[in-house]
Amino acid sequence: MTVAKRVPRRKPGRPRALTADVRKRVLRLLKTGAIWTSVCQGAGIPYSTLQQYLSPSDDKFDAGFAEQCKAAQRSAIERLEKVVMKAASAGDWRAARWRLERLVAEYGPKVTVETSSTTRIEIQQSLAIAADVRKDPARVAERNDMIVELSRATPALPAAEDKKA
């Protein structure tokens, strides 16, 4: 009598979008310095899917893959920083700088917004508070109290009135 081997059944539900091949493509593209939307297009997955695997608050979160993505991005940033330094010493660094601006927020362009003088002062105070907290984390509680005081001093916006047609 011949005993038939059991064929392992496939797990129920939809197959995972982030297969080993897709993960390799994502990491390869991140190492080249591609931005997230380009990475997703190149890997053939929606941006929201990648976010699920990288967001600690999501049940699909993959800590190992998230760390690999960070490491791949760090290597691209390091490489581009070297290019900026080398190109700057040679004279033309604009193209590498443009790329670096899109990968790291601190290299980004400075944004100016026209506001009333009161709002401008509040924004400057908030930015100063944030900068102080980054330099000295022990002062976080003190800075939080200042932020609460600032928010109390700021007048509330008037409620929108319903328009009757």
Query: What is the residue extent of each domain of the chain?
Result: 20-107, 117-153
Percent of all residues in the chain with a pLDDT value above 70, rounded to a whole number: 59
Calpha distance 97→132 (Å, rounded): 27
Confidence (pLDDT) at 164: 47
SS3 state of residue 58 = coil
Burial class (CB in 10 A: 0-12, 13-18, 19+), 29: buried
In angstroms, the CA 152 to CA 139 distance is: 20
* Regions of the chain where pLDDT drops below 50: 159-165
pLDDT value, residue 13? 72
Entry pTM: 0.52
